[in-house]
Amino acid sequence: MNSKQTIEMIEKLKQTYPDAKCSLNFTTPFEMLVAVILSAQCTDERVNKTTPAIFAQYTKPEDFANMELTVLESLIHPCGFYKNKAKNIKATAQILVEKYHSQVPNTMEELMKLPGVGRKTANVIMLEVFSNPQGVAVDTHCKRIANRIGISKQKEPEKIEQDILKIFPKKYYYDLNHVFIWHGRNICTARNPKCEKCPICMYCQEYQKK
Ligand code: SF4
């Protein structure tokens, strides 16, 4: 795919999903950080069902930093991997209190030093909280689509992200973070992708092979 085609492709996806946006609910940067940590290996829908009851009672990093681990574990239990996630959320909250005046830091480097925050999570925070996208959060949908279309042959998210960033101008980072996820949920599904309905099938290597 040449650079003209990559732009055409992203524009077609933008037209197909004009309302594509982050589906996690949050009202503060810290709530978003907690929600993204919880969303690992869990659906956004489930996270959105779990967090309102938590944030109704506990809102600040201090609340989580001082909470008994067992209490936090039971609150986030529905999101899975609750022991690890509880440990990371508590440790992250403690660092925010001690080092960042209870604020969420606004650089990739600082975010990625927080427990439970990898490059994907840091990318989401930079985009959704600070409106300053630094890259593309490669989730399962983005990975699958990048491989199928042929813009990356890599399997590791960070390598896929580098391939994506090489071919798309920075002005598309916001859209890239959303339209691939929506395309993966709606048309380019893991099983039985609806290729006959796909607006970008003409750019897709997997489709050409069929
Ligand atoms: S043509 Fe099929 S495999 Fe390719 S991006 Fe579209 S839905 Fe996915």
> Does the annotation mark 120 as catalytic?
yes
6 C-alpha to ligand 1 centroid (Å): 15
2 has a pLDDT exceeding 90 = no
For residue 1, name the pLDDT band (cuts at 50, 70, 90).
confident
Ligand 1 within 6 A of CB of 142: no
3-20+136-209, which class in CATH? mainly alpha
Ligand 1: residue of 201, 203, 208 to mutate (most ligand atoms within 8 A of CB) is 201
pLDDT score, position 94: 98
> Residue whose CA is closest, atom 4 of ligand 1?
204
204 touches ligand 1 (CB under 6 Å): yes
- Tell me the per-residue pLDDT of 34-51, one tens digit each, with 9 for 90 and over: 999 999 999 999 999 999
Closest CA to 174 of 119, 206, 127, 110: 127
User: Measuring from atom 8 of ligand 1, which residue has the nearest CA?
Assistant: 188
Residue 197 pLDDT more than 90?
Answer: yes
Is pLDDT above 90 for 3?
no
Residue of 44, 63, 139, 163 marked catalytic: 139
The residue whose CA has the least distance to atom 1 of ligand 1 is: 201
- Express each pLDDT in 63-116 by its tens digit: 999 999 999 999 999 999 999 999 999 999 999 999 999 999 999 999 999 999
Task: Give the pLDDT confidence score for residue 154 in this predicted structure.
Answer: 97
Q: Alpha-carbon distance 16 to 3, whole Å?
A: 20
Whether residue 185 has pLDDT greater than 90: yes
Q: Is 139 a residue of the active site?
A: yes
User: What pTM was computed for the model?
Assistant: 0.91
Per-residue confidence (pLDDT) for residue 110, from 0 to 100: 98
Residue-range domain boundaries for the chain: 3-20+136-209, 29-128
Percent of the chain with pLDDT over 70: 100
Under CATH, which number does the domain 29-128 receive?
A: 1.10.340.30
